[in-house]
Amino acid sequence: MKRFLVIAAALCFGLLGVSTYCGAVTIKDVKPGEDVFSYITRVKGSFDQRLYQQVIGAANPFKEGDDTIGVGADNNASRENARKLLANTKIKDITNHPLLNDDLYKFIAKSVNSAQYNKIKDWTMGRMKTFLLTKTEPEIKAVMFGMNSEVVGCLPKLMSNQELIAVNRKIFNPLPGTKIGAKGYMSARIQPNSPTDDPEEIVWQVLSAFSYGVGDLVLGTNPVDGTKESTARVEAALKDVVDTFKLNQTIPWCVLAHVDVQRAIFNETPEQISLIFQSLAGTDVANKTFDITVDKMVDHAKSRKGQRYGLYYETGQGSDFTNGGAEGVDMVVLESRKYGFARGLQQILAEVQPQGAYTHFNDVAGFIGPEVFRTREQLVRCTLEDIFMGKLQGLTAGLDICSTLHMSVSLDDLEWCQDQIMPANPAYLMALPTRNDPMLSYLTTSYQDHVRIREKFGYKVNDAMWAFFKRIQVIDRNGKPTKHFGDPIWVYYQYRLAKGDTRSQQTIMAEGRQKFDAIHNTWLKTGDKVPLASGYGNNLWDLNPQLDKRIRELYADAKKAIWAELTPEFIKKMPDSVQLATLSKDRENYIVHPDTGEKLSEQSVATLEKLRDSWQGKAPDVQIVISDGLNANSIMDPEHVLPYIAALRQDLQAAGLTVDKQNIVITSGRVRAGYMVGDILFAKASPDKPRAVIHIIGERPGTGQNAFSVYIAAPKAQVWAEKKVDHNIVKVVSGISKQATKPKDAAKQTVKLLKEMIAI
């Protein structure tokens, strides 16, 4: 979800912070038979919207994110009381009282089947729970479209993990013409990410996946550079693999840039685009951060008229409040609203796609950080809730069972989580060469995890893709691995044959070995490029021991880097530095409570005001800010930030832009801390002239590259003065390191983007 064009994906890093409400929810003295609305009226004297949001939120199992926005129960007694009230509440009463009545809710309401709603509107939520647990799939599908997303979002609150699994095991919504999402099948999205968007690294990760019989949903790359030109290059590389193996009717490809960028490429060269992607949020405000609206997404859905493949979405509990858009609603209900958004778009797709609506989502559970939830048990709970809500809304529901490196969910914990979740039969999981993404630096499922899960749970791969794996001889006619299993060089040979290469097998495979080594061995030695999976350990599903050892070393290094702080020696080396601090009391406070890293201390505010006054009304065009973020080591690397700043100042000068000589250094800083710098410094500047903050910040470690990112905000000074700068108008250059995007190249990209933003 990392994007160059739009700040939306920065939620991936847990760097953007949160907006908060204070206080936990206490619910006591519940009367027998009392429902949510009678309780509120008794306590408040009349209906109270905020208390309504709190009672519904308090019914959730504990997660840190709900506490952050003030809708978490203060203890288990209050939680159980909230559930009693909810179980007694009728579906029609929840339907008639939106938790948030915005444009998204209105769109979701249109997707509800009125005939089915009339069958169930007088049912209590407790009755619906019993119905789901005791009835068959056809019986459930005869009423489930009568529930709007907020009703669906309330149901998991009443269920245990085992009850969620029981319902998940009998509701399936396979993609048209496939077994993807069908009972007994578990598919894979190959996620071939590269820190430099290198097409060869991307293609080799796909070949590696195919060697394990993995990858039947989509070839889906997260771009570092989400511009039109770069996105088109990666689209072409993925398209080439699909075209070469004649898989166009079997598996789509997708580059997860912003939907507008993908649409622009489609408008010019429609054959270049297969499946179109977009992240979705659960409120209008949060969707604005992603630079989308309901109307925009409806238009994109209609643009898929006559296409084989439709739309693909990513969602995740906590993304709304992380982006300041929860609007007081709990994470589970907001997640359900995202699926309602997808359901409404699916209905539009069904009208324009000849073979039915080809659309699916994956929930990125655990991608943001400990401010959402912290433990492996919470990760399991979150995924079971989300699959349940997606399936109940008629969607093909996948998962990214993942963890950030600053959560307490380890590499080994992920296997335990997978085993708890797999009985629910999600439609698909992510698939990477190892559990550590080489670009996004988070933990998820590897190719070998898919092999293990298939063996342990008996899940199958989509039939058409399984036939392909037999065709390239990594699987035999009896469905068993061959001697070529786990050999991407063999798959490269098959790839070259499919291209009509007439050279000998020995020659092609020697070339393949050279290409493989140039990528994988370079990564092993220097951290440059990406890891490639090949072979296995004692079992088919064990990671190659050498690769496993290196991944664990990187994991251990990342855990240290997250807790690193800017040293006094480094700050002294930073020329003309002004040191600021946020409200974070210490490193642990910064990691666990991200909002403290968004706000500057009182003393820091005074320091900035003094700097502003020294300008005497002549504010520069640009202010440079440096924060440690989640990886102070990336900032302190002598080949990183200092060379970047030197090149940046030269390029800014060449572009005719003035920049203040002072470099502002923030300890325990997050992205919004940079906005606060701009709010203060440019509050008195010429209102109609753009002013920019270029914020350098450490990314999450774990790739071995210690990369940093640069966030660029450049509105008119009036916008700064009104404190309206937020993620939706910010652009980012990411993955900057001596091994990936070189600092000097990143400086040129920064200035190019800035010039576009201020139109010079």
User: Any idea what the CATH number is for the domain that residue 706 is in?
Assistant: 3.40.50.11240
Range of the domain at 594: 563-758
Query: What confidence tens digit (pLDDT) does each residue in 254-271 have?
Result: 999 999 999 999 999 999
Is residue 210 situated within a structural domain?
yes
3-state secondary structure 349-408: HHHHCCCCCCEEEEEEECCCCCCCCCCHHHHHHHHHHHHHHHHHCCCEEEEEECECCCCC
CB 188 within 8 A of CB 215: yes
- Which residue shows structure tokens 């009850």? 163
CB 735 within 8 A of CB 10: no
Residues 235 and 93 in one domain: no
Is residue 212 situated within a structural domain?
yes
**Which residues, at least 6 apart from 513, have a Cβ–Cβ distance to it below 8 Å?**
489
3-state secondary structure of 581: strand
Rounded Cα gap, residues 618 and 638, in angstroms:
33
Rounded Cα gap, residues 378 and 365, in angstroms:
10
Rounded Cα gap, residues 207 and 223, in angstroms:
19
Query: What confidence tens digit (pLDDT) does each residue in 647-663 have?
Result: 999 999 999 999 999 99
Tokens representing 748 are: 């040129």
Q: Nearest Cα to 721, choosing from 688, 694, 695?
A: 688
CA distances 1 to 128, 191, 462, 558, 581, Å, are: 35, 11, 25, 20, 29
Question: For the chain, what is the domain count?
Answer: 3
Rounded Cα gap, residues 700 and 405, in angstroms:
7
Q: What is the pLDDT of residue 2?
A: 34
Q: What is the pLDDT of residue 407?
A: 87
Angle at 51 between CA 148 and CA 342, to 5 degrees: 25
Query: What confidence tens digit (pLDDT) does each residue in 398-433 have?
Result: 999 999 888 889 999 999 999 999 999 999 999 999
Helix (H) or strand (E) holding 194: none
Rounded Cα gap, residues 190 and 217, in angstroms:
8
Read off the pLDDT band of 371 (50, 70, 90): confident
CB 391 within 8 A of CB 409: no
- Which residue shows structure tokens 């440096």? 626
Query: What confidence tens digit (pLDDT) does each residue in 160-201 have?
Result: 999 999 999 999 999 999 999 999 999 999 999 999 999 999
Q: Assign 3-state DSSP to the chain and report helix, strand, coil percentages, each to 5.
A: 50, 10, 40
Q: Please report how many Cα atoms fall inside a 13 Å half-sphere around the Cα of residue 466, on the Cβ side.
A: 18
Which residue among 425, 443, 474 closes a domain? 474
CB 143 within 8 A of CB 123: no
Q: At what angle do helices 228-244 and 199-211 cross, to 10 degrees?
A: 30
Residues 217 and 317 in one domain: yes
- In this predicted structure, the answer to whether residue 17 has a pLDDT above a threshold of 60 is no
Angle at 638 between CA 637 and CA 642, to 5 degrees: 105
Classify residue 750 by burial, with Cβ atoms within 10 Å: 0-12, 13-18, 19+. Answer: buried
Angle at 752 between CA 751 and CA 755, to 5 degrees: 80
Is residue 514 situated within a structural domain?
no
Q: How far is CA 251 from the centre of its chain?
A: 22
Rounded Cα gap, residues 719 and 679, in angstroms:
8
Q: Nearest Cα to 403, choosing from 354, 361, 437?
A: 437
According to DSSP, the residues that pair with 627 across neighbouring strands are: 666, 697
Tokens representing 504 are: 């000998």
Q: What is the pLDDT of residue 368?
A: 87
Residues 195 and 64 in one domain: no
Sign for the CA dihedral angle at 213, 214, 215, 216 comes to positive
Q: What is the pLDDT of residue 319?
A: 92
Residues 427 and 379 in one domain: yes
Which residue among 427, 456, 474 closes a domain? 474
According to DSSP, the residues that pair with 397 across neighbouring strands are: 361
Rounded Cα gap, residues 561 and 218, in angstroms:
33
According to DSSP, the residues that pair with 115 across neighbouring strands are: none
Residues 209 and 318 in one domain: yes
Residues 196 and 265 in one domain: yes
Residues 170 and 133 in one domain: no
CA distances 53 to 150, 330, 416, Å, are: 11, 7, 33
Q: Any idea what the CATH number is for the domain that residue 452 is in?
A: 3.20.20.70
Encoded amino acid at 290, one letter: F
- In this predicted structure, the answer to whether residue 12 has a pLDDT above a threshold of 90 is no
Read off the pLDDT band of 23 (50, 70, 90): low
Residues 466 and 600 in one domain: no
CB 414 within 8 A of CB 458: no
How many CB atoms are located within 10 Å of the residue 580 CB?
23
Is residue 728 situated within a structural domain?
yes
Is residue 377 situated within a structural domain?
yes
- Which residue shows structure tokens 């749970």? 457
Is residue 161 situated within a structural domain?
no
Dihedral, 93, 70, 444, 480 alpha carbons, nearest 10: -30
Encoded amino acid at 531, one letter: P
Q: How far is CA 582 from the centre of its chain?
A: 26
Is residue 12 situated within a structural domain?
no
- In this predicted structure, the answer to whether residue 127 has a pLDDT above a threshold of 50 is yes
Residues 203 and 94 in one domain: no
Residues 114 and 210 in one domain: no
Tokens representing 386 are: 């989300």
Is residue 499 situated within a structural domain?
no
CB 164 within 8 A of CB 156: yes
Read off the pLDDT band of 703 (50, 70, 90): confident
Residues 737 and 689 in one domain: yes
Rounded Cα gap, residues 252 and 691, in angstroms:
42
Q: Cα-flanking dihedrals φ and ψ of residue 142, to 5°?
A: -75, -10
Q: What is the pLDDT of residue 595?
A: 87
Task: Provide the b/e sequence for 2-16 (b: ≥16 CB within 10 Å).
Answer: bbbbbbbbbbbbbbb
Q: Cα-flanking dihedrals φ and ψ of residue 741, to 5°?
A: -75, 115
CB 284 within 8 A of CB 103: yes
Query: What confidence tens digit (pLDDT) does each residue in 574-604 have?
Result: 999 999 999 999 999 998 888 899 999 999 9
**Which residues, at least 6 apart from 720, have a Cβ–Cβ distance to it below 8 Å?**
678, 679, 681, 682, 683, 685, 691
Read off the pLDDT band of 441 (50, 70, 90): confident
- Which residue shows structure tokens 């729970």? 129
Query: What confidence tens digit (pLDDT) does each residue in 245-258 have?
Result: 999 999 999 999 99
3-state secondary structure of 247: coil
Rounded Cα gap, residues 63 and 366, in angstroms:
12
Q: What is the pLDDT of residue 297?
A: 98
Rounded Cα gap, residues 159 and 171, in angstroms:
16
Q: What is the mean pLDDT of the chain?
A: 94
Query: What confidence tens digit (pLDDT) does each residue in 295-335 have?
Result: 999 999 999 999 999 999 999 999 998 888 999 999 999 99
Which residue among 474, 496, 522 closes a domain? 474
Rounded Cα gap, residues 389 and 171, in angstroms:
11
Residues 257 and 401 in one domain: yes
Rounded Cα gap, residues 464 and 185, in angstroms:
12
Angle at 679 between CA 677 and CA 685, to 5 degrees: 110
